[in-house]
Chains A and B, each alone.
Chain A
Amino acid sequence: MRQLLLAAPILIPLVACAVTAMLWSRPEAQRRVGLGAAILLFVATLGLMAEVLSGGMVVGQMGNWPAPFGITLVVDHLSAAMLVITGLMGLAVAVYAMGPGAQERDRAGFQPLFHALLLGVAGAFSTGDLFNLYVWFEVMLIASFGLLVLDRTREQLDGGIRYVMLNLVGTTLFLLAIGLLYGLTGTLNLADMARVAPEVENQGALAAAAVLLLISFGAKAAVFPLFNWLPASYHTASMPVAAIFAALLTKVGVYAIIRVFTLVFAHDHALFGPLVGVIAMATMVVGVLGAAAHYDIRRILSFHIISQIGYMLVGVALMTPLAIAGSVLYVIHHIVVKANLFLVAGAVRQVGGSFALARLGGLWVTAPLLGLMFLVPALSLAGIPPLSGFWGKLVVIRAGLEAEAFVLAGVALAVGLLTLYSMIKIWNEAFWKAAPDTAPAPEWTRGQRIATFAPIVLLCGVTLTIGLWTEPFAAFSLAAAEALLDREAYIAAVLRPHPTQLAEVLP
């Protein structure tokens, strides 16, 4: 049963992708299958989470090949949390995608690509093998390429090329790093690699491979100075696509950085800690300043993804239990909030007729509830108590102060303030100021309205729950951090059945 639950987050989107692709000519049926699969995925990830909470780490060896020879699937606290949030986002966006524009999207192949994306993301979160991680990255990438240029407009083609070119180079560097690491450690299994890495003679070459990994994961996570592709492409995608991208894609890069640098390269923290710390600070500052310069909701939100990535790297930079717990809590909170903001932006476009702040206005009068639903994630993003972002920032900054990284903590605080500035800007322009004379908004049906607002309300509810009932989430984050720092337990859990050691067999 545990093994089946372990594979379910991969199997469900895989089957959904195949079935929706076979139903190519019947968009209506595709949509139903897609929604069913999204619900199933969410339930399965919740089941897996319950299993991890009750029985600890779930480990499975694919095809019964003993580790480290076969591919291992490992789900610990962090992976389980990421999978649950993937399920939640999949469900929210699957419902949202039934809103305006659903028919055009489904005819262009939205459903198979969407589930292929979830497949890649779920696989990346559950694998315990470096080469397998590369394969999942590619599954996710190719699906995201298709999704980004779904409408085939000029704008999307241009944004798509920017996105595709930079990501192609990023993943090839990942492959290069895998080659180097395999040559140095003789293994691809992350647990086995963590066991061997501290004993590798040529630590300089190992560090070089680690930096290559940091570059390729960093390009995926859009950290400074590799973030250029994100604001150049995200705003061109259609809204459900942008929402799922904003929620999951960069976070897979962050997850990979956290996983690899807490597990395999933890012994080299003296080198990578300060490096990641500087990257984190620069990422926060550049992202928030970029957002301050823009007047299009989608572009502002895209730049804020970058700035928030910086907070998530603080855990890797400091490597204390509290800092890593802060990172975990921050990732969980951020995914919900950021996806929700993109969903709200889509609704604003539908109600107000534009994404450009100059053309919007008076939405507080015409759509007060939408205003409320914008304020919850927006203020949470800025870190206003008692919303979820406040607790995330509190833990991260406190961890910074305790580790005496005062500059890092100070930058985090200042960036929070500037985030508030951007959110207030959207609020003032779109909701507060008098409505300009614009073309009447497009009509939409009752069903479309429900499909648009149900996920927004759901995610607002999650944000409020994390904010008002933080205790279990904080406790979970601390448990996840302790599990991440306890490398011996991870290695033992993966390699236990057959302690044969590949590295010693090889020449």
Chain B
Amino acid sequence: METAFALTIGVLVGAAAYLLLARDLPRALLGFVLLGTAANLSIFAAGRTGTMVPPLVAPGAEALATDAANPLPQALVLTAIVIGFGLAAFALVLVMRAHAEFGSASAEDMDEAERPDDVAAPAAPALNPAAERKEAA
């Protein structure tokens, strides 16, 4: 069981890493979703797997049965899924908006924020030889 979990998580992280390296933003976003799934599965595995007994206190009993499943990872994963969904939804809207604005969903076509300052450097030459070199080039 644990081996299967570990292999699944490994494959998911590998696929996520591959997708996250893409310049195409929707692909990168899918990579983020896969990475989030891998993280959730690893939390689940951290709570120990293998038991099929639900974490419910039987009528009349004072505590959980000793072989009951661990309820905490389930609560954590639920929280993480909700948060991950919210973030992915926001990121998707942002990418769509950028696509409408730039006409492309590729990171290569978005350079607005990286463009050099509208006036590259002050005119006074003595103060910054770097600017002169830039102009000369």
Instruction: Tell me the A residues contacting B by CB distance below 8 Å.
Output: 131, 134-135, 138, 141-142, 145-146, 149, 152, 154-162, 164-165, 168-169, 171-173, 175-176, 178-180, 182-184, 188, 232-233, 235-236, 293-296, 299, 355-359, 425, 428-429, 433, 436, 506-507
Contacts and interface: CB of A to CB of B under 8 A. Distances in A.
A180 B46 contact: yes
A235 B101 CA distance: 20
Nearest to B123: A358
A235 B112 CA distance: 12
B81 to A, nearest CB: 11
Interface in B7-57: 20, 25, 28, 32, 35-36, 38-40, 42-48
Contacts of B101: 154, 157
Given A172-B35, A233-B113, A428-B127, A183 B46 contact: yes
Contacts of B65: none
Most buried by B among A156, A159, A161: A161
Q: Could you tell me the dominant secondary structure of chain A's interface residues?
A: helix
A175 B114 contact: no
Nearest to A507: B48
Given A131-B76, A154-B112, A172 B94 contact: no
Contacts of A142: 86-87, 90
30 contacts: A131-B79, A134-B80, A138-B86, A145-B90, A146-B90, A154-B112, A157-B97, A157-B98, A157-B110, A159-B112, A162-B113, A164-B90, A165-B28, A165-B32, A171-B87, A175-B39, A179-B39, A182-B47, A182-B76, A183-B47, A232-B114, A295-B117, A295-B121, A357-B121, A358-B117, A358-B119, A428-B127, A429-B124, A433-B122, A507-B48
A210 B91 CA distance: 28
B91 A164 contact: yes
B132 to A, nearest CB: 13
Contact of B25 (A161, A173, A299, A428): A161
Contact of B112 (A157, A175, A178, A183): A157
A236 B76 CA distance: 35
Nearest to B83: A138
Contacts, number: 137
Contact of A154 (B83, B102, B121): B102
A161 B107 contact: yes
What bracket does the count of chain B residues touching chain A fall in? 35 or more
Contact of B121 (A131, A162, A168, A358): A358
Nearest to A149: B94
Contacts of A355: 117
B21 to A, nearest CB: 11
B3 to A, nearest CB: 15
B38 to A, nearest CB: 7
A299 B119 CA distance: 13
Given A160-B94, A169-B32, A433 B124 contact: yes
Interface in B43-89: 43-48, 70, 73, 76, 79-80, 83-84, 86-87
Contacts of A357: 121-122
B10 to A, nearest CB: 12
Contacts of A506: 48, 70
Nearest to B37: A172
A356 B46 CA distance: 52
B49 to A, nearest CB: 11
B110 A358 contact: no
B32 A157 contact: no
Contact of A359 (B38, B42, B114, B119): B119
Contacts of B47: 182-183
Nearest to B100: A157
A117 to B, nearest CB: 14
A172 B43 contact: no
Contact of A179 (B45, B84, B97): B45
B137 interface: no
| Complex A-B, nearest 6 residue pairs according to Cβ-Cβ distance, in ascending order | A183-B46, A179-B43, A179-B42, A159-B113, A358-B119, A175-B39
B136 interface: no
B120 interface: yes
